[in-house]
Amino acid sequence: MRMSADLRDLFLYEAFLYYNPLLLVALMIWLWGVNLWVFAQSSVNYAKVFDLAQTHLSHRDIWRCATWLTLIVPTSMTAYLYLYSHGEVSLAASQPVLLYAVLLMILFSPFDMFYISSRFYFLRTVWRIILPLQAITFPDFFLADIFTSMSKVFSDLERSVCRMVNRQVATIAWFEADSICGSHSIAIPLALVFPYLCRFFQCLRQYKDTKEKTCLLNALKYSTAVPVIFLSALKYHVFPEQWVSFYRPLWLISSVINSLYSFYWDIKRDWDLSILTRIFMFKNPSIWTNLLYGQNWVFYWVLGSNLVLRCTWTYKLSAHLRHNYLTVFAIAALEILRRWQWVFFRVENEWNKMTSKQNLEMSSDMPSEGDRLLDSSNHTV
Start-to-end Cα distance in the chain: 101
Give every residue of the chain whose pLDDT is below 70, as ranges.
1-8, 172-178, 272-295, 313-323, 360-381
- pLDDT at res. 295: 67
- pLDDT at res. 381: 37
In a domain, 212, yes or no: yes
Contact 272, 346 (CB under 8 A): no
- pLDDT at res. 380: 44
In a domain, 358, yes or no: no
| Angle of CA points 207, 364, 357, to nearest 5° | 40
In a domain, 251, yes or no: yes
In a domain, 371, yes or no: no
- pLDDT at res. 286: 66
Contact 233, 319 (CB under 8 A): yes
In a domain, 377, yes or no: no
Element counts in the chain: helices (H) and strands (E): 16, 0
- pLDDT at res. 344: 87
What is the rounded CA–CA span in Å between residue 74 and residue 21? 12
In a domain, 93, yes or no: yes
Query: Burial letters for 193-231: b for 16+ Cβ neighbours within 10 Å, e otherwise?
Result: bbbbebbbbbbebbbeeeeeeebeebbebbbbbbbbbbb
What is the rounded CA–CA span in Å between residue 69 and residue 58? 17
pLDDT tens-place string over residues 174-184? 556 667 777 77
- pLDDT at res. 174: 56
Sort 129 into a burial class: Cβ within 10 Å, 0-12 / 13-18 / 19+: buried
How many domains does one find in the chain? 1
Question: pTM for this structure?
Answer: 0.87
pLDDT tens-place string over residues 259-316? 999 988 888 888 766 555 566 666 666 666 666 666 677 778 888 888 888 888 666 5
In a domain, 340, yes or no: yes
Among 236, 255, 340, CA closest to 24: 340
Domain extent at residue 203: 5-353
In a domain, 167, yes or no: yes
